[in-house]
Chains A and B, each alone.
Chain A
């Protein structure tokens, strides 16, 4: 690219050495920060990480046992979240990219909303989930269907998942739009030239080609949803539950929340430290595996596309 092809053939300028060193050191420092965090967590977390740790429930006031309920809760949360976020996100991207005129005011409003939704602080999502889903929707459902008994009108898995779905909506939209813009205009024109309707072109020609990109978006959203804690503080996460959630209106344990609670509210820090580190390691491995697979899917897609279009 630019750097190599335009580098002068004569000896490097003194200014270049200074700038190269300064920016290179900054880059190195960022990498070192990442490495230090990873090494610390792996070193302290790995010894406690056993099969039993992944499959047992916590015991003895969080100083022994495993984190299975937190893993279960995290998985349940991201599954429900994906079911809610994916259709809405993909539909928004299709509308923005395939249907809407880029200059129409409606399109502009959707874009401003998507961009700003991505910037809303996660704690504000938590308050919104409490005010809207738990109290307004859940409370309303209780009044109508359960004669005022508290069934849905309290923090629950479903409300946490829906709150998280709104938080991850922009991730899905942005990734899907990128995938749609990578589909060559030629195939759209070819499809139209064959007399396909707009919808036939979108659903049978464009979307199938965009699937890897949509998948990337879904994975990134899951990775984000698995790690966020602030939005679920008041909408459904619990410190400790003796049983797994049975229905969507039960509370649940979650890995990130478990880390927060163990780190800040443990009566005996030294006794919980190994468990805390192992939990962080599980959470990191989970989010890293998700991010890595997203990067992999995306780079494959790019390679495939660059081959296809020369």
Chain B
């Protein structure tokens, strides 16, 4: 339902309603605020029909509508301001000679020979005599933790979504769905706390890790935050598969599992892909869980049993201690720009997939 339908009703099925038809009604003299709807035969201020108006709505209505229009762009304004102000603080990395004496984009991304090291290495050591801003340990750490989280979360969440939407009865569904909403409602600092205080010890006792806090602990804890995101979108996508598909499949003699794996899942594939993309965006940008549970050592290694430091945790842990406008400060904002762009890209792809799915299902129904 949107404005156009009402316009349609008001213009008598497309034919413009003569403005005179309404406004000829005699007006009671004492109706200054137009409380009686019948006193206001004017047509709404949708631009398409503005030409029809003999009398416009009162000024205060038009002012309020203007305010709504302006406020509606607050999300757009927020996005633009976020980009501008993050980029503004990161900008000196490209232009400032004072910062270039310590760090450049090239020094961040390309391998460097540091004094005292035998071979060239990627090193993140922003607080040392010679500050080193090699970002690869952070990037690899982020990818490592994100991958572990996705490997744990996606099979669990997608399976749970299949179970809830395809097999579960009404009562099971009424338990599982709110429970997963509760899981989504657990603040990430609580998940981080749980990983730090409880899970890390369990994992160490079970696997005998050298470092108590490591990529595996952080990744598994992170998956708890990702599961609800993937589940919710996935379940919605599976539920949106037209009933006629399922009925046609059953009528052809397919068993339930055949219908699920060969009809429902392929039909919902764009939605499932979107759910994974949105979960990935969440995992990539999540801060508190990894800050608390990953051990925060910037080691360049693929081993999941070692401590890691992610991009988001680096910003959270280091920004409080840096000199405003200094090289370290600028580098941290540069990392934030990177985080922003990557999550924006991932989410954009996810949203496009959802929109496509909705269009497809809309046509099919």
Q: Which residues A119-140 have CB closer than 8 A to chain B? A: 119-128, 130-132, 135-136
Most chain B CB inside 10 Å of its own CB: which residue of A8, A115, A136, A169: A115
User: Quick one: which of A26, A259, A273 contacts B189, CB cutoff 8 A?
Assistant: A259
In the complex the two chains form, what is the Cα distance from A113 to B157 in whole Å? 27
Are B278's CB and A119's CB within 8 A? Answer: yes
Are B292's CB and A19's CB within 8 A? Answer: no
Judge if B336 is at the interface, Cβ distance under 8 Å: yes
Are B246's CB and A6's CB within 8 A? Answer: yes
Are A13's CB and B256's CB within 8 A? Answer: yes
In the complex the two chains form, what is the Cα distance from A280 to B195 in whole Å? 13
Judge if A233 is at the interface, Cβ distance under 8 Å: yes
Are A121's CB and B157's CB within 8 A? Answer: no
In the complex the two chains form, what is the Cα distance from A219 to B159 in whole Å? 30
User: Quick one: which of A31, A99, A194, A283 contacts B3, CB cutoff 8 A?
Assistant: A99
Are A124's CB and B44's CB within 8 A? Answer: no
A256 to chain B, nearest CB (A): 4
Are B9's CB and A124's CB within 8 A? Answer: no
Interface 0/1 of B60-76, CB less than 8 Å to A = 01001101110111111
Q: Determine the residue in chain B with the shortest Cβ distance to A264.
A: B292
User: Quick one: which of A18, A37, A120, A195 contacts B344, CB cutoff 8 A?
Assistant: A120
Judge if B2 is at the interface, Cβ distance under 8 Å: yes
Interface 0/1 of A278-297, CB less than 8 Å to B = 00100110011011100100
Are A229's CB and B187's CB within 8 A? Answer: yes
In the complex the two chains form, what is the Cα distance from A121 to B256 in whole Å? 40
Q: Determine the residue in chain B with the shortest Cβ distance to A98.
A: B3
B78 to chain A, nearest CB (A): 5
Are A259's CB and B312's CB within 8 A? Answer: no
Judge if A7 is at the interface, Cβ distance under 8 Å: yes
In the complex the two chains form, what is the Cα distance from A79 to B163 in whole Å? 39
Are B246's CB and A191's CB within 8 A? Answer: no
Are B187's CB and A132's CB within 8 A? Answer: no
Are A92's CB and B72's CB within 8 A? Answer: yes
Q: Which residues A188-242 have CB closer than 8 A to chain B? A: 188-189, 191-201, 203, 223, 226-230, 233-234
Judge if A267 is at the interface, Cβ distance under 8 Å: no
Are B246's CB and A2's CB within 8 A? Answer: yes
Interface 0/1 of B1-38, CB less than 8 Å to A = 11111100110000000000010000000000010011
Are B187's CB and A227's CB within 8 A? Answer: yes
A231 to chain B, nearest CB (A): 9
Return chain A residues, CB-CB under 8 Å to B75: 88, 92, 110, 113-114, 117, 169-170, 173
Are B340's CB and A120's CB within 8 A? Answer: yes
Return chain B residues, CB-CB under 8 Å to A53: none
Most chain B CB inside 10 Å of its own CB: which residue of A12, A126, A131, A276: A131
Interface 0/1 of B319-334, CB less than 8 Å to A = 1100010000000110
Judge if B85 is at the interface, Cβ distance under 8 Å: yes
Are A189's CB and B261's CB within 8 A? Answer: no
User: Quick one: which of A109, A123, A181 contacts B1, CB cutoff 8 A?
Assistant: A181
Judge if A24 is at the interface, Cβ distance under 8 Å: yes
User: Quick one: which of A27, A126, A276 contacts B193, CB cutoff 8 A?
Assistant: A276
Q: Determine the residue in chain B with the shortest Cβ distance to A205.
A: B37
Query: Number of contacts between A and B (CB, 8 Å)?
Result: 342
Interface 0/1 of A1-39, CB less than 8 Å to B = 111101110001101101110111111011101100100
| Chain B interface extent, by class | 35 or more
Return chain B residues, CB-CB under 8 Å to A87: 71
Judge if B343 is at the interface, Cβ distance under 8 Å: yes
Return chain B residues, CB-CB under 8 Å to A223: 185
In the complex the two chains form, what is the Cα distance from A88 to B85 in whole Å? 21
A305 to chain B, nearest CB (A): 14
User: Quick one: which of B3, B41, B42, B169 contacts A4, CB cutoff 8 A?
Assistant: B169
Judge if B243 is at the interface, Cβ distance under 8 Å: yes
Return chain A residues, CB-CB under 8 Å to B176: 27, 31
B199 to chain A, nearest CB (A): 9
Are A122's CB and B287's CB within 8 A? Answer: yes
Are B37's CB and A234's CB within 8 A? Answer: no
User: Quick one: which of A26, A194, A257 contacts B37, CB cutoff 8 A?
Assistant: A194
Return chain A residues, CB-CB under 8 Å to B346: 119
In the complex the two chains form, what is the Cα distance from A308 to B191 in whole Å? 41
Are B44's CB and A34's CB within 8 A? Answer: no
Judge if B178 is at the interface, Cβ distance under 8 Å: yes
User: Quick one: which of A2, A230, A287 contacts B288, CB cutoff 8 A?
Assistant: A230
Return chain B residues, CB-CB under 8 Å to A263: 192-193, 196-197, 292
Return chain A residues, CB-CB under 8 Å to B97: none
A201 to chain B, nearest CB (A): 7
- Cβ-closest 7 pairs across A and B: A121-B285, A227-B187, A198-B44, A95-B72, A26-B159, A119-B347, A91-B71
Which A residues are within 8 Å of any B CB, using their own CB? 1-4, 6-8, 12-13, 15-16, 18-20, 22-27, 29-31, 33-34, 37, 40-41, 87-88, 91-92, 94-102, 109-110, 112-128, 130-132, 135-136, 166, 169-170, 173, 181, 183, 185, 188-189, 191-201, 203, 223, 226-230, 233-234, 256-257, 259-260, 263-264, 273, 276, 280, 283-284, 287-288, 290-292, 295
Which B residues are within 8 Å of any A CB, using their own CB? 1-6, 9-10, 22, 34, 37-42, 44-46, 57, 61, 64-65, 67-69, 71-76, 78-79, 81-82, 85-86, 88-89, 155-157, 159-160, 162-170, 175-176, 178-183, 185-194, 196-198, 224, 227, 231, 243, 246-247, 250, 255-258, 260-261, 278, 281-282, 284-288, 291-292, 312, 315-316, 319-320, 324, 332-333, 336, 339-340, 343-344, 346-348, 350-351
Between A and B, 17 residue pairs with Cβ closer than 8 Å are A1-B170, A3-B168, A29-B156, A33-B227, A98-B3, A101-B2, A102-B2, A116-B79, A116-B348, A120-B82, A121-B312, A173-B75, A181-B1, A230-B188, A233-B319, A260-B193, A287-B187
Known: A117-B79, A188-B5. 4 other contacts (CB 8 A): A20-B163, A198-B65, A263-B196, A284-B186
